[in-house]
């Protein structure tokens, strides 16, 4: 059976700053989505990471479907109305356009979607991050799908020997989607050369090479800044990752995330801090808006979901979190000096740029004396 999995995510308001959505807001989104269970949808879940709400939907309407995207848009609008009534912070923040026009791509919400031919025991994982950018998934996914030091299945399983195909998007490109397809392991160094630049080159999809019709992962790639033309919050990404058998196993994604790789984001979208794996429905941290990621594990049969299992909630993650938070504290001790604060080109707020422009007028060229 073919099933499309769609995850559509938006920040439409939160309590007391950029923290978490209110219970009433969540209930409004949930209610709108639940109404379509058994109609448009085979199944659905609603959860949050920081102040971002993710709507996970399974259905048979294919990628980019107007009715599915329209449903998510309406659900976020319903949430926005509650946020406005409650005076929540950033009400409707990620709904950048007034009217829905057939697809939420380009309207503000982040989207990850893939269509799969369901395996007898389909297993998948949903990743949702807050206070960071889509490139935050580059390193963990590269390690899980291309590096046997982290992903032993690449050596141990015949199903994984052929490697994986990476589709990498240039998110700085403004006229249409620009992407490149590269095979690991043969093109590993080319893949690495691109993925190291997490602001510009972002993994959009990963496919099995042994079974070329089988998509392993889909990642959202939207840059809100390019839609709005100004800072409107971060491009907090979501991803769908299929796991087990012909894909890396669920537990092979743990070590890449335990690394706590430095990513861009956190306070005012303008700093580097390590990506912190947290349980689902964790509010954003008041420690400098620490970039965070949740992972939910599901089984699926005929499009109906069992789960989630909260994949970053078991006891092993506690000491890992302590280590990652210690990295964050160390980075913050150097305040605004790079690389703690991002380079000018990546700052989400324009304050420093305006200041530098004013200072520029005060510079004087010294005479050389020749
Ligand atoms: O990262 C932040 C918000 O991220 P978000 O949009 O919730 O993904 C915060 O650090 C804000 O940038 C900061 O709180 C200032 O917000 P404003 O006062 O400009 O709304």
Ligand 1 pocket, Cβ-based, cut-off 6 angstroms: 11, 17-18, 51, 130-131, 233-234, 236, 267-269, 289
327 is catalytic: no
Which residue of the set 142, 201, 234, 310 is catalytic?
234
Q: What is the pLDDT of residue 233?
A: 58
pLDDT tens sequence across 290-342: 999 999 999 999 999 999 999 999 999 999 999 999 999 999 999 999 999 99
User: Are the beta carbons of 43 and 298 closer than 8 angstroms?
Assistant: no
- Residue 267 CA to ligand 1 center (angstroms) comes to 6
What does residue 68 show for φ and ψ, rounded to 5 degrees? -70, -45
184 has a pLDDT exceeding 70: yes
ipTM: 0.97
pLDDT of residue 225: 63
Q: Rounded CA gap, 136 and 366, in Å?
A: 44
Q: Which of 147, 170, 183, 231 is catalytic?
A: 231
How far is ligand 1, taken at its centre, from the CA of residue 17, in Å?
Answer: 8
Which pLDDT score, from 0 to 100, does residue 177 have? 81
The predicted pLDDT at position 8 comes to 98
Q: Whose CA is nearest to atom 7 of ligand 1?
A: 18
Order of strands, sheet of 43-49, starting from the edge strand that comes earlier in the sequence: 43-49, 52-59, 2-10, 110-117
Residue ranges with strand state E in the chain = 2-10, 43-49, 52-59, 110-117, 122-130, 164-170, 179-183, 201-208, 215-219, 238-242, 262-265, 271-274, 276-277, 292-301, 304-310
β-bridge mates for residue 156, sequence order: none
Q: How many CB atoms lie within 10 A of CB 158?
A: 9
172 falls in which pLDDT band (50, 70, 90)?
confident
Among 9, 11, 48, 65, the active-site one is 11
Q: Which atom of ligand 1 is nearest to the CA of 268?
A: 12
188 has pLDDT over 70: yes
Number of the ligand 1 atom closest to the C-alpha atom of 267: 10
CA-nearest residue for atom 13, ligand 1, is 268
**In Å, what is the CA distance from 304 to each residue of 112, 223, 243, 301?**
18, 31, 17, 5
CATH number, span 1-117: 3.30.70
Q: Which residue's alpha carbon is nearest to atom 10 within ligand 1?
A: 267
Determine which helix (DSSP H) or strand (DSSP E) holds 124, and give its type and residue range.
strand 122-130
> How is 264-333 classified by DSSP, letter by letter?
EESGGG-EEEEPEE--TTPPPPTTTT--EEEEEEEEEETTEEEEEEETT-STTHHHHHHHHHHHHHHHHT
What does pLDDT average to over the chain? 94
Delimit the domains of the chain by residue range: 1-117, 118-364
- Statement: residue 59 has pLDDT above 70: yes
Q: Which atom of ligand 1 is nearest to the CA of 288?
A: 10
Say what the pLDDT of residue 231 is: 57
State in Å: Cα 231 to ligand 1 middle: 10
Return the percent helix, strand and coil in the chain, to nearest 5. 30, 30, 45
Ligand 1 centroid to residue 11 C-alpha, Å: 11
Binding residues for beta-D-fructose 1,6-bisphosphate are 18, 89, 102-103, 131, 244-245, 268, 349
Q: Residues 274-292: what's their mean pLDDT?
A: 96
Give the pLDDT of residue 180: 97
Rg of the chain in Å (alpha carbons): 21
Tokens representing residue 248 in the block = 């890396």
pLDDT for position 347? 83
- Structure tokens given for 87: 């005076």
Look up residue 298 and give its two tokens.
């599901």
- What per-residue confidence (pLDDT) applies to 319? 98
Q: Looking at the CA of residue 348, tell me the nearest atom of ligand 1.
A: 12
Query: Which one of 225, 234, 263, 268 would you pick to mutate in the ligand 1 pocket, going by the greatest count of ligand atoms within 8 A of its CB?
Result: 268
| Whether residue 226 has pLDDT greater than 90 | no
- Please say if 231 is a catalytic residue: yes
Q: What is the pLDDT of residue 7?
A: 98
In this predicted model, what pLDDT tens digit does every residue of 105-148 receive, in sequence order? 888 899 999 999 999 999 999 999 999 998 999 999 999 999 99
- Residue 350: is its pLDDT beyond 90? no
Contact 297, 279 (CB under 8 A): no
**Binding site, annotated residues for dihydroxyacetone phosphate:** 18, 131, 268
Length of the chain as a residue count? 370
Whole-model pTM: value is: 0.95
Residue 345: band (very low, low, confident or very high) from pLDDT cuts 50, 70, 90 = confident
Average pLDDT over residues 35-58: 97
- 367: confidence class by pLDDT, cuts 50, 70, 90: confident
**Rounded distance between C-alpha atoms, residue 106 and residue 95, angstroms:** 10
Ligand 1 atom index nearest CA of 93: 6
User: pLDDT tens, 230-267?
Assistant: 655 568 999 999 999 999 999 999 999 999 999 999 99
């Amino acid at each position: 059976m073919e099933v499309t999995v769609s995850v559509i995510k938006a920040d439409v308001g939160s309590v007391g700053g950029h923290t978490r959505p209110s219970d009433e807001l969540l209930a409004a989104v949930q209610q709108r989505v639940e109404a379509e269970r058994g109609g448009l949808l085979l199944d659905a879940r609603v959860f949050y990471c920081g102040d971002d709400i993710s709507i996970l939907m399974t259905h048979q309407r294919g990628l980019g479907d107007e009715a599915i995207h329209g449903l998510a848009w309406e659900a976020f609008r319903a949430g926005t109305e509650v946020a406005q009534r409650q005076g929540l912070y950033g009400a409707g923040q990620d709904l950048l356009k007034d009217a829905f026009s057939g697809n939420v791509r380009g309207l503000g919400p982040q989207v990850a979607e893939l269509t799969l031919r369901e395996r007898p025991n389909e297993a998948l994982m949903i990743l949702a991050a807050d206070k960071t950018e889509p490139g935050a998934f580059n390193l963990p996914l590269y390690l899980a799908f291309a590096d046997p030091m982290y992903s032993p299945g690449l050596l141990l399983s015949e199903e994984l020997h052929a490697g994986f195909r990476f589709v990498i998007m240039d998110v700085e490109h403004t006229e249409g989607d620009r992407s490149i397809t590269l095979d690991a392991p043969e093109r590993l160094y080319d893949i690495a050369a691109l993925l190291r630049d997490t602001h510009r080159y972002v993994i959009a999809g990963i496919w099995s090479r042994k079974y070329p019709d089988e998509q392993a992962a889909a990642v959202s790639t939207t840059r809100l800044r390019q839609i709005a033309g100004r800072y409107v919050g971060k491009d907090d990404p979501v991803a769908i990752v299929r796991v087990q058998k012909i894909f890396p196993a669920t537990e092979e994604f743990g070590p890449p995330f335990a690394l706590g790789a430095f990513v861009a984001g956190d306070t005012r979208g303008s700093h580097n801090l390590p990506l912190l794996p947290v349980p689902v429905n964790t509010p954003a941290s008041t420690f400098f808006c620490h970039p965070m990621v949740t992972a939910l594990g599901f089984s699926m049969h005929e499009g109906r979901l069992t789960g989630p299992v909260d994949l970053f909630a078991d006891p092993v993650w506690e000491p890992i979190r302590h280590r990652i938070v210690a990295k964050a504290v160390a980075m913050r001790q150097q305040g605004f000096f790079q690389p703690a604060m991002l380079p000018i080109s990546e700052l989400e707020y324009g304050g420093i740029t305006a200041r530098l422009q004013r200072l520029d007028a005060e510079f004087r060229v010294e005479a050389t004396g020749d």
